[in-house]
Amino acid sequence: MTDPALEPRLRQLLTVFLEENKKLNLSAFRTEEQCWIGNILDSLAALELPFLSRLLPHPPSPSPNGGGGAEGVRELLDLGTGGGFPLLPLAIALPDVRFTGLDSVQKKVDAVNRMIGTLALPNARCVCGRAEELGRSDAYRERFDVVTSRAVSDVNVLLEYASPFVKPGGRVVLWKSVTIDQELHDSLLARAELSCHLIHQHVYELPGDWGKRQLLVFEKSSPLSGKYPRDIGVPKKDPLK
Ligand code: SAH
């Protein structure tokens, strides 16, 4: 699943993360194995998407077919990064992409920045703020080629959080379980209103009995209306539906 050359850096992340997790409640996965599979390998599943795998320093195949587009991915935002997933494993794997983690909880952001320092990751940083706020600021609005998000909210809420950050033509990648028919149905209005079209559902499998999960890939087709995102708390309290 992963390039063996990455393994020492990823093992270092595992050690550093488990240390931080003892001090702060960053993740329910507390053992090495849980954290390796549930956080690190799960984050790296995004590298199975051709538009990201071709950015690897040693791409698995010369020119992957299908799933093209999002050319020249340079800036990626991980929304609701929490303890740094999928931000940190992806920043290790893709050194030519600049990563920004965003979370509204300062102590989590501080922990992620400490890990970035210990791991000496020059292509990553983490900032504190609410998606509804930063999505309106010039420095962040429509500046990112890709926005990722794992375990933050339902699709309709997440698209309102994520789409303000994405350049037109850019993508949103969401980590989800395989049984989300209702959630996807409930996101129809949000997808139309925010010009985020579901272009790919990538099912992947984690080792052991962790089972199947999926990545949802959305493409944003045009600039976002100034109406969005709505005020802090509104996207979650009153989702587009
Ligand atoms: N992505 C991580 C953390 C998931 S927990 C993982 O998969 O392990 C969800 C995180 O999203 C929390 O840390 C929470 O603080 C953050 N979050 C939720 N709503 C947010 C918002 N509107 N803006 C910024 N961060 C938010």
Closest CA to 141 of 125, 162, 169, 172: 162
The pLDDT value recorded for residue 132 is: 98
Question: What pTM did the predictor assign?
Answer: 0.95
Antiparallel, parallel or unpaired: β 166-177 and 196-206: unpaired
SS3 of residue 70 by DSSP: coil
The pLDDT value recorded for residue 3 is: 79
Measured CA to CA in angstroms, residue 109 lies from 3, 126, 145, 147, 192 at distances of 28, 6, 22, 17, 32
Tell me the sheet residues that pair with 123.
none
Q: How far is the CA of 216 from the centre of ligand 1 (A)?
A: 18
Ligand 1, residue 134: give the atom nearest the CA: 23
SS3 of residue 103 by DSSP: strand
Torsion of CA 166, 172, 175, 177, to 10 degrees: 130
CB-based contact 98:74 (threshold 8 Å): yes
> Is the C-beta atom of 108 inside 6 A of ligand 1?
yes
Q: What radius of gyration do the chain's Cα atoms show?
A: 17
Ligand 1, residue 80: give the atom nearest the CA: 11
Closest CA to 73 of 41, 46, 106, 113: 46
Distance CA 44, CA 223 (A): 29
Distance CA 81, CA 226 (A): 25
The pLDDT value recorded for residue 73 is: 79
Antiparallel, parallel or unpaired: β 144-150 and 124-128: unpaired
CB-based contact 80:103 (threshold 8 Å): yes
The pLDDT value recorded for residue 1 is: 56
In the chain, at which residue ranges do the beta strands (DSSP E only) sit? 75-79, 98-103, 124-128, 144-150, 166-177, 196-206, 211-220
> Which of 29, 79, 105, 152 gets mutated to test ligand 1 (max ligand atoms within 8 A of its CB)?
152
Q: Residue length, the chain?
A: 241
Closest C-alpha to ligand 1, atom 3 = 82
Q: What are phi and psi of 188, to 5 degrees?
A: -60, -45
The pLDDT value recorded for residue 5 is: 85
How confident is the prediction along the chain (241 residues), in pLDDT tens digits per residue? 577 889 999 999 999 999 999 999 888 888 999 999 999 999 999 999 999 999 998 777 655 554 555 567 799 999 999 999 999 999 999 999 999 999 999 999 999 999 999 999 999 999 999 999 999 999 999 999 999 999 999 999 999 999 999 999 999 999 999 999 999 999 999 999 999 999 999 999 999 999 999 999 999 999 999 999 999 999 999 999 9
Distance CA 52, CA 33 (A): 26
Query: Directed axis angle between helix 7-23 and helix 106-119, to 10°?
Result: 140
Q: Which domains does the chain have, with CATH numbers?
A: 7-237 (3.40.50.150)
Closest C-alpha to ligand 1, atom 14 = 80
Q: Which helix (H) or strand (E) holds 15?
A: helix 7-23
